[in-house]
Structure formats: C-alpha cells, structure tokens
Amino acid sequence: QVQLEESGGGVVQPGRSLRLSCAASGFTFSSYGMHWVRQAPGKGLEWVAVIWYDGGNKFYGDSVKGRFAISRDNTKNTLYLQMNSLRAEDTAVYYCARESLGFSSTMDVWGQGTTVTVSS
C-alpha cells in the first residue's frame, strides 16, 4: 500500500543541525512532488517546503528559508529535510506528504510524523 515513513527526529540543542528522512513505498516516488509540513505542539499546520518530482525546483516557507534544505533521492525513494541553525520555534512534529498529481496542489498522502525538539 501507499506509505510514507519519517525518521530522524529527536532532541537537539539550539543552533545545531538535524536531518530528517522520509521513506516512500507503494507508488512511483519519482513521479510525485513531495512536501514537508510541520505542527508545533498544540498549534496548526505550517507548510515548510516542497520539491518537484525530479528535484528540479524547491520552494520554502519564509520561517525556514536559508536554514532548511529539502532534497530527494529517487533511486532510494527517499525524501530529506536538512535543518540547520535550529531554533526553539522549530520544535514540532514534521510530516512528509505527497503532492497530488494533476493541478489540485493538495497533499493526498501523509506520513505519521517525526518529532523534533529544540532545547538546551
């Protein structure tokens, strides 16, 4: 079945780095754009970044621009999020999500999330 599984979360000190991974299965990963979306404790959803199906374009939310980098390895069916210069406000559950095919610009498959805690 179609599945996304995040990993790499944990507790990290402010200013340090962390890399998240998202393993995809059950669909042709290289045909889909992919997102990272986060949710701070008790808060709503915040879009973080998107990467096109071939990695040719990447876009970021304002709060992470210049600090986070999204990438993918289509040979490994894996999405990544490199997070640098982490701040307390980056503490959240991070979800990877698949962009729907077509023109709807929605996220039709989600992983279960991985928790990142930035604290000294």
d(CA 23, CA 67): 22
* Residue whose CB is less far from another protein, 14 or 36: 36
In the complex, what is the shortest distance from the CB of residue 53 to another protein, in angstroms, rounded to a whole number? 15
Task: List residues binding another protein (CB under 8 A).
Answer: 35, 37, 44-47, 50, 59, 61-62, 95, 97, 100, 103-108, 110-113
CB burial of residue 54 (10 Å; 0-12, 13-18, 19+): exposed
Reading phi first (left if > 0) and then psi (alpha if -120 to 50, else beta), residue 112 is in alpha
Tokens of 16: 């340090």
In the complex, what is the shortest distance from the CB of residue 102 to another protein, in angstroms, rounded to a whole number? 9
Tokens of 41: 């404790």
In the complex, what is the shortest distance from the CB of residue 15 to another protein, in angstroms, rounded to a whole number? 27
* Residue whose CB is less far from another protein, 13 or 62: 62
* Residue whose CB is less far from another protein, 3 or 17: 3
